Chain A
Amino acid sequence: MDTFDPALPWQRSHSVALRPEPFGALVYSFSTRKLSFLKSRQLVDVVQALADHPTAAATLTACGVTDAQRPAYVKALADLARSAMIEVRTCA
């Protein structure tokens, strides 16, 4: 996976546990043993809603991410994709 494509359907990866915390969430992958820290509640909402929308871009819009915030959120999703915390949905 070279670049993150927000036009694809995404979802939280299987074998990834997500635990909300006051500051955002902790995300732990049982397969890679990586632990990530999500630093905003809004990002947590996005990650949890990915599976419900046809594209990542649509998810951002549905979760109220503003145009100004978009670059940071796309980057965050790209980071999560790179560490295999989220994956492309194969069945739409």
Chain B
Amino acid sequence: MRLIDHFEYGLDAPICLTWELTYACNLACVHCLSSSGRRDPRELSTAEAERVIDELQRMQVFYVNVGGGEPTVRPDFWHLLDYAIGHDVGVKFSTNGIRLDRARAQQLARTDYVDVQISLDGATAEVNDAVRGAGSFATAVRALENLAEAGMKDVKVSVVVTRENVGQLDDFKALTDRFGAQLRLTRFRPSGRGADVWDRLHPTQAQQRELYAWLLANGDRVLTGDSFFHLSALGESLPGLNLCGAGRVVCLIDPVGDVYACPFAIHENFLAGNVRSPGGFQQVWQSSELFAELRSPQTGGACTKCAHFDACRGGCMAAKFFTGLPLDGPDPECVQGYGETALAARDVAQVTPRSHLDHSHRGPVRGQPTLLGFPSIPAKACDESPLAGMR
């Protein structure tokens, strides 16, 4: 069997997994894949999180990608970080940088087996803050400065590629070079709050071709996590296995212990079980019906007839699901245009699937994003006019 076949049929343990530690977040990014903001009262306790780490150690999961929400707002974040590393589980964590002051940066630089990834969605404050909120660019840059000063190695900056920032790819590269960090580009998917802004923010077909060309030219210095494998149908394959890892080599553990196939698929249809059940995470990973289904040979459906199927493998399951497209049909961003056709053919009355979970902040957030036209900061706390603060 080829390696990729082994991976497609699943492994006894994930290679790594994403673990969203909390739904709490200091930001309110418009496209948040986990619809984060408010803490869920049912979140795993410190002790429960330690038991999960113990399991991951037994299963020999190599590392976890910790995110959220903003993981560092959990008071036990630093304890859990040390606990994981002390139990043979490497940690990579994604953060908006809010807690990475000089002291923490120095602490991280001294710690082995930890990887830091700063989220950023614009190479300038103007582009970034429209999506992530006023001040978020400055917070990220401050964290990058602190990490660079502390001598932290291999810091990553992760960018969700959108219609608004795809013209800044060279600027992103320059920014990361400035801090000695590595650039990571990742695909915008219609998951979580992303569903609400996907039509407006996802790259156009022309922009996808621009991105593809840029990746071919610069790809050896940029990480993508294979998240653009649907673009491989444009020609020469991008580096990577073109493999959807959901339920096969990776999965998500969410803040309340639910296990989903992938962080972009937080929805009942992709819920495999819960770590609090008997048998814990291992039982879910090895025996859940959902994962068994994902690990069986997948029918590409209509896509198998396309000459490019081998390259794109029908695209992303989550992207199809949350735009209301069938999983055995084209990806909404299919580079051959079949996705656009499929989107147009959707029943006008159809409601696209929504997750049962939404932890978004309810009221305005200090420094909230301006993309949707809301003022970034209320002019006065008690100003009654809804137009206060708008230009």
Tell me, yes or no, whether A and B come into direct contact in the complex with CB atoms closer than 8 A. yes
Q: Which residue of A lies closest to B59 (CB)?
A: A19
Interface footprint category on B: 10 to 19
B6 part of interface (Cβ distance < 8 Å): yes
Determine whether the beta carbon of A19 is less than 8 Å from that of B60: yes
Q: Given A17-B88, A19-B60, A21-B6, do A28 and B15 touch, yes or no (CB 8 Å)?
A: yes
Of residues 14 through 39 on chain B, the ones whose CB sits less than 8 Å from some CB of chain A are 15
B98 part of interface (Cβ distance < 8 Å): no
Determine whether the beta carbon of B3 is less than 8 Å from that of A21: no
Q: Given A21-B6, A23-B1, do A30 and B90 touch, yes or no (CB 8 Å)?
A: yes
Contact residues of B: prevailing secondary structure = loop
- Chain A neighbourhood of B3, CB < 8 A: 37
- Pick the contact of B15: A15, A23, A26 (CB < 8 A): A26
Give bound CA distance, A28 to B12, whole Å. Answer: 15
Kindly count the residue-residue contacts between A and B in the assembled complex, taking CB atoms under 8 Å apart.
28
> How far does the Cβ of A30 sit from chain B's closest Cβ, in whole Å?
6
Q: Which residue of B lies closest to A24 (CB)?
A: B6
- Chain B neighbourhood of A19, CB < 8 A: 13, 60, 62
- Pick the contact of A30: B11, B12, B13, B113 (CB < 8 A): B113
Of residues 61 through 115 on chain B, the ones whose CB sits less than 8 Å from some CB of chain A are 62-63, 88, 90, 112-113
- Chain B neighbourhood of A26, CB < 8 A: 11, 15, 62
Give bound CA distance, A23 to B12, whole Å. Answer: 11
Determine whether the beta carbon of B12 is less than 8 Å from that of A35: no
> How far does the Cβ of A85 sit from chain B's closest Cβ, in whole Å?
13
Determine whether the beta carbon of B88 is less than 8 Å from that of A21: no
Given contacts A28-B15, A28-B63, list 15 more A-B pairs with CB under 8 A. A17-B60, A17-B88, A19-B60, A21-B12, A23-B1, A23-B6, A26-B11, A26-B15, A28-B62, A30-B62, A30-B63, A30-B112, A30-B113, A35-B15, A37-B6
> Which residues of A come within 8 Å of B, CB atoms?
15, 17, 19, 21-23, 26, 28, 30, 35, 37
Q: List 8 A-B contacts (CB under 8 A).
A: A17-B62, A19-B62, A22-B12, A23-B1, A23-B6, A30-B62, A30-B63, A30-B113
